[in-house]
Amino acid sequence: MRDRDCLLHCFHAALEAVHGGTVVRRALGRLKGRDPIHLVAIGKAAAAMAEGARTILGERLVRALVITRHGHADPRLSRDQRFICLQADHPLPGADSLLAGGRLLDFIRLTPEQGHMVFLISGGTSSLVEVLPPGAGLGELQRVNGWLLGSGLDILAMNRVRAAISCIKGGRLRSHLGQRRTEAYLISDVPGDDPAVIGSGLLVPPSVVRPLPELPPGIREWVTAMAARVPDCTDTSGVAVPVHVVATLRDACRAAAAAAERCGMNVTLHGEFLRGEAVPCGERLARELLAGPPGIHIWGGETTVTLPADPGLGGRNQHLALAAARVLAGHPGTALLAAGTDGSDGNTRAAGALVDAGTVARAGALGLDVEQALAGADAHVLLKTCGDLVTTGPTGTNVMDLVIGIRQS
């Protein structure tokens, strides 16, 4: 198997192991009782998770609400009259996100008080569904989220801000459940797999309220004012909500490692969580690959990119891979894949990129400037022209990013 094919094989094996349908079927197969189920699925993996639930629950599933990203829907669900299927906005919340928030509250309200609710939550939920406090407008919400996405802040800090100005995040949705029996199954897209952070914690209030990160003037004042208007509805005196994390980045890394071993490769599974700016991270990983033992090297995490004033096309994984390509240049038998497990990266339709020792030379031969692409957060066109993009489409999961490298000798 060629080096690039081997990396793609490992990546797809990881995706299969944490696919929403697979993990939900396994989890709900252990669900006890025979009472009817009222299902809510939210996130980028919502359609896959809901289809898994539909398969395993059969006629026990009486009604369902599915809220996913535009382009991530499953037509099989729309043809089932039990399902209400909505598509909303990501990565910036939009009018459809506010509509979805209202429909979510309506769905809960119309569920019988003695009903049994099951929530399936995955990454992207923070943007896809929202209920704002009085006086908060969509324009301001988008301005805050736009700043957050380009700020370089990690997901914990971003979701802290999102929860502060939401009437349903930070555990506040739980106050709408009343005495309805409820449980939740989550695919984690956050470091530490904290249910209070996944999807900004719709059903789980934080155990410790972190201070807000430093915000720029204008945004800081608006966030503070709106946070003061959010109702204090984190009362947890209702029924307990068991929460089960059914897929994590660790699961994906292990599956990639197992696939590499089945191909006869030596594997180094790096335990660190990748974070920080994508360019220095990519350069460091490439150096580790060159200095480490031959075989497959696997990392996972989620880096950031602080965007310039006028960014081009790309995402953190394409950015990381292109930075790594500069270090791998001139080292035959090396290649590195960096991709989002949700199938998307930044403002493009690519999941990431797969670079090798010849990427920089190919770019130069085509008149493309690697340094300029990195400086302008504009890696996408260069990588596409060089044939180095990884494109999967929606994957039915979201457990952050994988970086898989190979060195033959």
pLDDT single digits (tens) 165-195:
999 999 999 999 999 999 999 999 999 999 9
Does 197 score more than 60 pLDDT? yes
Q: What is the mean pLDDT of residues 334-349?
A: 96
Burial of 32 per CB tally in 10 Å (0-12, 13-18, 19+): exposed
Of the listed ranges 31-35, 60-64, 268-272, 363-367, the least confidently predicted one is: 31-35
Tokens (6 digits) for 116:
């049994």
Sequence-distant (6+) residues with CB within 8 A of 211 are: none
Sequence-distant (6+) residues with CB within 8 A of 371 are: none
Tokens (6 digits) for 142:
């988008």
CA distance 156 to 22: 27
CATH 3.40.1480.10-classified regions of the chain: 3-11+249-407
Nearest in space to 315 (alpha carbons), one of 323, 304, 325: 304
Q: What percentage of the chain has pLDDT greater than the value 90?
A: 91
Q: Is residue 397 within 8 Å of residue 48, measured between CB atoms?
A: yes
Question: What pLDDT score does 209 carry?
Answer: 82
Q: Is residue 249 within 8 Å of residue 340, measured between CB atoms?
A: no
Band (94; pLDDT cuts 50, 70, 90): very high
Does 236 score more than 80 pLDDT? no
Of the listed ranges 147-156, 245-254, 383-392, the least confidently predicted one is: 147-156
DSSP structural state of residue 348: B
Question: What pLDDT score does 383 carry?
Answer: 98
Sheet arrangement for strand 401-407? 267-274, 295-301, 401-407, 334-340, 352-356, 389-390
Question: What pLDDT score does 391 carry?
Answer: 98
CATH topology for 19-247 is Rossmann fold (3.40.50)
Name the pairing type of β-strands 334-340 and 352-356: antiparallel
Kindly report the number of other CB atoms within 10 A of residue 2's CB atom.
9
Question: What pLDDT score does 80 carry?
Answer: 97
Residue 275: alpha-carbon gap to chain centroid: 15
pLDDT single digits (tens) 385-406:
999 999 999 999 999 999 999 9
CATH 3.40.50.10180-classified regions of the chain: 19-247
pLDDT single digits (tens) 314-332:
999 999 999 999 999 999 9
Q: What is the mean pLDDT of residues 271-289?
A: 97
At residue 374, φ and ψ (nearest 5 deg) are -70, -40
Sequence-distant (6+) residues with CB within 8 A of 217 are: none
Of the listed ranges 57-66, 108-117, 231-240, 389-398, the least confidently predicted one is: 231-240
To 5 degrees, how large is the angle CA 385–CA 345–CA 312? 60
Terminal CA-to-CA distance of the chain, rounded, Å?
A: 16
Q: Is residue 301 within 8 Å of residue 368, measured between CB atoms?
A: no
At residue 153, φ and ψ (nearest 5 deg) are -70, 150
CA distance 145 to 159: 10
Of the listed ranges 61-70, 217-226, 232-241, 272-281, the least confidently predicted one is: 232-241
Q: What is the mean pLDDT of residues 134-155?
A: 91
Output the pTM of the full model.
0.93
Does 156 score more than 90 pLDDT? no
Tokens (6 digits) for 93:
């919340």
Band (291; pLDDT cuts 50, 70, 90): very high
Q: Is residue 162 within 8 Å of residue 91, measured between CB atoms?
A: no
Tokens (6 digits) for 374:
């990195």
Q: Is residue 399 within 8 Å of residue 155, measured between CB atoms?
A: no
Residue-wise DSSP of 73-119: --HHHHTSTTEEEEEE--SS--HHHHHHHHHHHHHHHTS-TT-EEEE
CATH number of 3-11+249-407: 3.40.1480.10
Does 34 score more than 90 pLDDT? no
